[in-house]
Amino acid sequence: MNNGRGRRLVAGIGAVALSAAAGVVSSCSDEGSPRLSGAAERGRLLAAERGCAACHSTDGSTLVGPTWKGIWGENVVLSDGRSVTFDADYVRESLRAPNAARRKGVMAAMPAFDTQRVSDAEIADLVAYIKALSPST
């Protein structure tokens, strides 16, 4: 693999993503959040607090990872050729073992989040939030 170069690239993108996240957080508070359930609102706060929002936008733009806008229920083709539905199980797998569930053609830049960093209950809140970003569901 392209070790040294890849790592520098990821570090560079991380810096850009962090400044983008500052923008995302402030634009959220400017607009106020749309009507979210309690769980979804907790998920929104967690996404900012745990750094997800630095890499995943909610407005359709691509930061480091795929946007969360309208993603729920989408068909995702993984790098190992599997095809999965974007659902709660996929979110969990993406957090616990990102390299086992990597979207085809994207960078392997999704950090793993173990139970110390994001608990199962917190994943449920994040799932509620991501789901709320797909209004048709």
Q: Which residues bind ligand HEC (CB under 6 A)?
A: 14, 50-52, 54-56, 64-66, 71, 76, 86, 91, 94-95, 98, 102-103, 106-107, 109-111, 113, 118, 126
Instruction: Report the C-alpha gap between 35 and 18 in whole angstroms.
Output: 26
What's the closest the beta carbon of residue 127 comes to ligand HEC, in angstroms? 9
Instruction: Give the CA distances from residue 97 to residues 26, 84, 92, 102, 112, in Å, rounded to whole numbers and listed in that order.
Output: 30, 15, 8, 9, 6
Using the structure block, give the residue that is written with the tokens 């969990």: 92
What's the closest the beta carbon of residue 58 comes to ligand HEC, in angstroms? 12
Instruction: Report the C-alpha gap between 12 and 45 in whole angstroms.
Output: 25
φ, ψ of residue 126 to 5 degrees: the values are: -60, -40
Residue number, 33 or 87, with CB nearest to ligand HEC: 87
Residue number, 22 or 107, with CB nearest to ligand HEC: 107
What's the closest the beta carbon of residue 30 comes to ligand HEC, in angstroms? 22
Residue number, 27 or 119, with CB nearest to ligand HEC: 119
